[in-house]
Structure 1
Amino acid sequence: MRITFLGTGTSQGIPIIGCQCEVCTSLDYRNKRLRSSIHIQTDNNESIIIDSGTDFRQQVLRERITQLDGLLFTHQHKDHTAGMDDIRGFYFLNGMKPIELFATAPVFDQLKQEFSYIFAKEKYPGVPSVNLNTLEKNKTFKVGKTDILPIEVYHYKLPVLGYRIKNFAYITDANRIEADQMDQLKGLDILVINALQKEKHISHFTLDEAKEVIKELKPKKAYITHIGHKMGLHADVQKDLPENVFLSEDGLVLEL
């Protein structure tokens, strides 16, 4: 399995418009972060993307992704859904077969409002068709031949889905994971988990809080994502992390 970080930044990305801090003005490419998303190429050759955020088109073009077997959503916030308009390219590449979308019912309700033209009874020519696959926590589903387990975490009071495929798991936009869901995250080779910054935040793990989750779950390796500019410079933060914990970066590829 091959995992590519399409983006590792928070809702505004890095640099933030108009910000002159040392992170936003850094020339180190590792401090340039698009909105958080990953691409997974499975052992069965399925192509899966988790979240189509604001930078979706740019990310897909950069990584030369030409196949989409499943688009999974973690939750309904715009920095994770706003790029869905650009599934049109995959729709045409797929011979106008519907694109398979996977999310909870509340996420689909939001998508129907924001992309009403996709769900209209009478569509404008060229509008893509989609199949909605409604998910529930702890109920395994398939993309092609690949089994995926949805795991529920909390983004303040909002339920958000993380996903586990074999011994890999991806958790973003969380600041609380209940004990029964922590149990679903044990025995991992790689955990990707969000940490916005070092200071306390109402809806995201801090770096220390994410490290505590990692310490409890004991994955072989862990990667931090959904990073804000207040976290600090990539090189400085990485120096202080445990030997099995890494700051992710846009374009980073992991092989499992």
Structure 2
Amino acid sequence: MKITFLGTGTSTGVPEIGCQCEVCTSKDPRDWRLRTSVLVETEGKRLLLDCGPDFRWQMIQSKTYQLDAVLISHEHYDHVGGLDDLRPFTRDKSVDIYAEENVAEAIRTRIPYVFREHKYPGVPKLELHTIDNTPFVAAGLPVVPIRVMHGRLPILGYRIGNMAYLTDLKSLPEEEFAKLQGLDVLILTALRKGEHPAHESQEEALAMIGRLRPKEAYLIHMSHRIGLHAEVEKELPPHVHFAYDGLMLFS
């Protein structure tokens, strides 16, 4: 399995508009973060996890020319804002999008022209598949949804093989922990240092990693308030890593 971190930033990205802090003015490219998205390649298939507003540039940078399915965690703009840019991937066939019913409805509302009976020429051909938190198959690959609480909002994380992607996590219902045993790679939110009402802090993420005990863990969805990559990386245990845009793993 090949895992590419297309973006590792929170909803505002890093640098944040107008900010002159040491992170937003850093010359280290690892401190520049597009909105969070991950590409998983396994068994000849490519699954995109979330499709935010930086999707077009992420595809250009990663030289990705084929997608087999898109898994959406929730309806917030930083996770769905790039769906219209799927157009180049749908010239010959539609792209399958997997999302919960409320998320699918939000997508239909935001880009209604994509789903009309009589479509404007050139709109992306998207096939929406409604899922819940029971296992399903996407592009022939088994996927286990994980119920995640984004503050008070229930959203989905995903397990594919021995990799799990948990973005915008604040807490997990107790029954979901059993689905996350035996992980080789855990990817999860660490928004900043210090508590936030809807996202795990770095401290909370480390506690979650301590309970789930993956072989390796990668922090994502960071804001500029977490600190400089070069400094934070030194604070982490050996099996926990501060992910950055463009990082590739082979699991």
**Into which bin does the TM-score normalised by the smaller protein fall?**
over 0.9
**Aligned residue for 2:216?**
221
Q: Which amino acid aligns with 1:123?
A: K
**Aligned residue for 2:176?**
181
**Aligned residue for 2:111?**
115
Q: Which amino acid aligns with 1:106?
A: N
Q: Is the 8 A contact 2:8 2:37 kept in 1?
A: yes
Q: TM-score, normalised by structure 1?
A: 0.97
**Alignment of structure 1 residues 125-140 onto 2, 5 Å:** 125-137=121-133, 139-140=134-135
Q: Distance in 2 between matches of 1:36 and 1:86?
A: 16
For 1:102, which of 78, 98, 122 is the aligned residue?
98
Q: Is the 8 A contact 2:85 2:124 kept in 1?
A: no
**Aligned residue for 1:62?**
61
Residue correspondences, number? 251
Write out per-residue CA displacement over residues 82-104 of structure 1, whole angstroms, 9 at most, x where no aligned residue: 11110101001xx1x22101000
Q: Which amino acid aligns with 1:31?
A: D
**Aligned residue for 2:26?**
26
Write out the 4+ residue segments of structure 1 that deviate beyond 6 Å after TM superposition: none
Shift of residue 142 of structure 1?
A: 1.3
Shift of residue 215 of structure 1?
A: 0.2
**Aligned residue for 2:233?**
238
Write out per-residue CA displacement over residues 53-111 of structure 1, whole angstroms, 9 at most, x where no aligned residue: 0100000110011111101100000000011110101001xx1x221010000000100
Q: Which amino acid aligns with 1:148?
A: V
**Aligned residue for 1:78?**
77
Q: Distance in 1 between matches of 2:170 and 2:138?
A: 28
- C-alpha RMSD over aligned residues: 0.7
Query: Is residue 202 from structure 1 mapped to residue 201 from structure 2 by the alignment?
Result: no
Q: Distance in 1 between matches of 2:153 and 2:218?
A: 23
Q: TM-score, normalised by structure 2?
A: 0.98
Shift of residue 172 of structure 1?
A: 0.3
Q: Is the 8 A contact 1:7 1:250 kept in 2?
A: yes
**Alignment of structure 1 residues 162-181 onto 2, 5 Å:** 162-181=157-176
Q: Is the 8 A contact 1:73 1:102 kept in 2?
A: yes
Q: Distance in 1 between matches of 2:94 and 2:156?
A: 23
Q: Is the 8 A contact 1:46 1:143 kept in 2?
A: no
Say which SS state the counterpart of residue 30 (structure 2) adopts.
helix
Shift of residue 130 of structure 1?
A: 1.9
Moved more, 123-132 or 11-20: 123-132
In structure 1, stretches of 5+ residues that fail to align are none
Q: Is the 8 A contact 2:143 2:160 kept in 1?
A: yes
Write out per-residue CA displacement over residues 173-204 of structure 1, whole angstroms, 9 at most, x where no aligned residue: 01010111111111101100101001110100
Q: Percent same amino acid at aligned positions? A: 44
Write out per-residue CA displacement over residues 218-252 of structure 1, whole angstroms, 9 at most, x where no aligned residue: 00000000000000000111111111100000000
Shift of residue 128 of structure 1?
A: 2.2
Q: Is the 8 A contact 2:163 2:185 kept in 1?
A: yes
Shift of residue 144 of structure 1?
A: 2.4
In structure 2, stretches of 5+ residues that fail to align are none
Q: Which amino acid aligns with 1:220?
A: K
For 1:155, which of 150, 153, 158 is the aligned residue?
150
Q: Is the 8 A contact 2:167 2:188 kept in 1?
A: yes
Q: Distance in 1 between matches of 2:223 and 2:197?
A: 14
